[in-house]
Amino acid sequence: MTTSLPNIITAIQNTINANADEVAELDRAIGDGDHVVNLQRGLDALNNVSEELTTMNWSAAFMKIGMTLMSTMGGASGSLFGTLFVSMGKAAKGQELDLTAFSEIFSQGVESVKKRGKADLGEKTMLDTLIPVANSLQADAASNAPLAVTLDNAKAVAIVGMESTKDMIATKGRASFLGERAIGHIDAGARTSQLMICAIADVLDSH
Ligand code: ADP
Ligand code: MG
């Protein structure tokens, strides 16, 4: 139920705040350094509406989360994370949120991010975390894997995906201006996406 959203938002804020210096450093190395501040602003805005979110169904809540992120975050990541949730809101319309439905809804959200950013796997962006997670959720839903296994797998592929950006050249976003000099640095958006996914999985696992 959407009543879990305040806890999830708090858990996400905690992990982003705890890793803020590292993320700022990552975006300074190959971007302009503002990614973590953009995200913290968006998360503060979500925190302000978190009680309201609990009164909504999943479709409306995802939509509200997306619009809130879009209107407060700024940066490339604001429109991309916003797109992820608005698209999930559309896909969730009239659906019960079991694991199979969620994996489909999340995958549609990730597809919309790909379209919006004109990017795909291997371009050193948040998509290197999000795409493997979408694929892992779908595979586990298809095989009826237990929730705990599904969450562990999602966390594991998020970490592998995030780490995979280290050796990549960026072909999208600010880091693409650096060419080979981007190699050796993890992408900031891939890192924050992984941190958020791991935090969400930990909250769901403890229920
Ligand atoms: P900006 O790049 O405008 O300063 P942020 O610093 O908030 O915005 O976000 C940068 C992050 O956005 C990158 O680390 C990357 O993960 C993600 N990103 C940038 N461009 C794209 C794109 N075209 N597709 C997917 N993700 C992208
Ligand atoms: Mg930036």
pLDDT by residue for the chain (207 residues), tens digit each?
899 999 999 999 999 999 999 999 999 999 999 999 999 999 999 999 999 999 999 999 999 999 999 999 999 999 999 999 999 999 999 999 999 999 999 999 999 999 999 999 999 999 999 999 999 999 999 999 999 999 999 999 999 999 999 999 999 999 999 999 999 999 999 999 999 999 999 999 987
Q: CATH number, domain at 181?
A: 1.25.40.340
Name residue 27's amino acid: D
Cα–Cα distance for residue pair 99/57, rounded to 1 Å: 16
Nearest to 136 by CA among 116, 111, 153, 149: 153
**Distance, CA 188 to ligand 2 centroid (Å)?**
8
Expressed in angstroms and rounded, the spacing between residue 77 Cα and the centre of ligand 1 is: 5
**How many A from CA of 13 to the centre of ligand 2?**
18
The CB of 114 under 6 Å from ligand 1? The reply is: no
Q: Which domain holds residue 178?
A: 2-206
End-to-end CA separation in angstroms for the chain = 12
Q: How many Cβ atoms sit within 10 Å of the Cβ of residue 44? A: 12
Place of tokens 């982003």: 16
Give the chain's domain count: 1
Does the Cβ of 174 fall within 6 Å of ligand 1? Answer: yes
